Amino acid sequence: MGDDIAVCDFDDIGVPDGADKKWRGESTEKWLQKLLSEDKDACLLGQIVLGEILSCPSAKQIDKINFCLLDVSDFERIGRLKKRNTYGADQNMLN
């Protein structure tokens, strides 16, 4: 995407076993703070809930949020994550 846009993967911070909605919300806020500190446009990739982004205190500081949903079946998504050996992927990730 070039040097004008910071591109980050949400999971780069590490996902602990038993990550829950509370952890996800706190981590989303941390990501927003990090991206705001970069002082350039950003693209955050991953399994992110739009409502959780909008409910973060830092979201009010963002001029514009674009959201793209790439849909894949739950079965396929879990299969891909298992193939990548990503953070203990299982059915609980869908909840």
CA–CA gap between residue 46 and residue 77 (Å, rounded) = 12
Which comes out higher in pLDDT, residue 71 or 1?
A: 71
Write down the pTM of the prediction.
0.72
On whether the CB atoms of residues 27 and 13 are closer than 8 A, the answer is yes
Q: What is the pLDDT of residues 7-61, one digit of tens each?
A: 899 988 888 888 888 999 999 999 999 999 988 899 999 888 899 999 999 999 9
